[in-house]
């Protein structure tokens, strides 16, 4: 296995363990910049990386009762159809230069949005509390499906969005949802979404399985170490470094 791939997986895994976000946001630009993968191949490989690394976390959240099944179902009602539509278009037209440009632009925009989501996490909840009276249950349900549809498009075209952006949308729509349920519901939605999108990319031959294996070998101990370090490193410092990294990556991808 490629030592650089293992080290990269370890570094990204450590960041995920420290912050709970940043996996796809950092992995896809890394695959494009360091390993020189085509954007579509990078997205497909990262989709499987995200699905496999989050699967264990999703099961743990389910067992702890941290998953709101109703909200998860509403999100999937929007994200699964939009993902299937995007995959259908990609299969019908092929991954041409036009799709490559779309993937790159979506990736850059998603990186910038993720940086904002991480930096202003508390602000989304505060805004949600102010908007609460304008969001009766029926309207909130419709907006949740719409949020899922948006996430489906973003994840399919960039592999980014199911983490920090998804959690921010939940804080905006459900500001009184306990923090553990925000995280658990977000992860529970991310796993089937990234898996479905990943299967679509695999059908197009857009997954580097050997590289994926090496990344996973490094990421698992990285996640464990990052989780252990959460008590010794200031969260504000870690999130600041993560935000700067995401902003830098987003600007580089779009430039």
**Residues 6+ positions from 45 with CB-CB distance below 8 Å:** 31, 37, 206, 207, 208, 211, 212, 215
Q: How confident is the model at residue 184 (pLDDT cuts 50, 70, 90)?
A: confident
Alpha-carbon distance of 185 to 205, in angstroms, equals: 30
Alpha-carbon distance of 71 to 52, in angstroms, equals: 22
DSSP state of 159: S
Q: What is the pLDDT of residue 125?
A: 80
Over residues 245-249, the mean pLDDT reads 73
Q: What is the pLDDT of residue 21?
A: 64
User: SS3 of 162, please?
Assistant: coil
Q: What is the pLDDT of residue 39?
A: 87
Higher pLDDT, 220 or 97: 220
Over residues 133-142, the mean pLDDT reads 88
Alpha-carbon distance of 30 to 202, in angstroms, equals: 20
Alpha-carbon distance of 15 to 13, in angstroms, equals: 5
Tell me: the pLDDT tens digits for 144-166? 999 999 999 989 988 887 777 88
Alpha-carbon distance of 226 to 168, in angstroms, equals: 22
Higher pLDDT, 237 or 149: 149
Over residues 218-246, the mean pLDDT reads 74
Over residues 174-192, the mean pLDDT reads 87
Alpha-carbon distance of 117 to 214, in angstroms, equals: 29
Indicate the average pLDDT of the chain: 84
CA-nearest of 245, 249, 187 to 61 is 187
Higher pLDDT, 232 or 198: 198
Higher pLDDT, 12 or 94: 12
Over residues 33-46, the mean pLDDT reads 90
Alpha-carbon distance of 124 to 167, in angstroms, equals: 9
Tell me: the pLDDT tens digits for 44-75? 999 999 888 888 778 877 888 888 999 999 99
Tell me the Ramachandran region of residue 22: left when phi exceeds 0, alpha when psi lies from -120 to 50, beta otherwise: left
124 has a pLDDT exceeding 80: yes
97 has a pLDDT exceeding 60: no
19 has a pLDDT exceeding 70: no
Q: What is the pLDDT of residue 111?
A: 80
User: SS3 of 247, please?
Assistant: helix
């Amino acid at each position: 296995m490629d030592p650089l791939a293992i080290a990269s997986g370890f570094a990204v895994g450590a960041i995920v363990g420290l912050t709970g976000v940043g996996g796809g946001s950092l992995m896809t630009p890394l695959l494009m910049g360091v390993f020189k993968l085509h954007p579509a191949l990078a997205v497909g490989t990262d989709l499987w990386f995200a699905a496999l690394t989050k699967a264990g976390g999703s099961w743990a959240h389910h067992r702890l009762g941290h998953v709101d099944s109703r909200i998860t179902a509403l999100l999937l009602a929007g994200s699964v159809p939009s993902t299937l539509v995007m995959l259908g278009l990609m299969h019908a037209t092929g991954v041409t230069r036009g799709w490559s440009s779309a993937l790159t632009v979506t990736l850059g925009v998603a990186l910038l949005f993720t940086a904002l989501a991480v930096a202003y996490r508390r602000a989304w909840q505060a805004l949600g509390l102010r908007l609460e009276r304008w969001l009766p249950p029926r309207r909130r349900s419709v907006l949740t499906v719409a949020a899922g549809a948006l996430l489906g498009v973003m994840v399919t075209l960039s592999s980014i969005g199911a983490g920090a952006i998804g959690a921010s949308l939940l804080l905006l729509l459900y500001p009184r949802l306990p923090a553990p349920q925000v995280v658990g519901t977000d992860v529970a939605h991310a796993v089937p979404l990234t898996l479905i999108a990943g299967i679509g990319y695999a059908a197009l031959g857009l997954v580097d399985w050997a590289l994926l294996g090496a990344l996973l070998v490094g990421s698992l101990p990285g996640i464990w170490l990052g989780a252990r370090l959460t008590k010794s490193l200031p969260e504000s410092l870690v999130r600041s470094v993560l935000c700067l990294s995401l902003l830098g990556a987003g600007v580089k991808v779009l430039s």
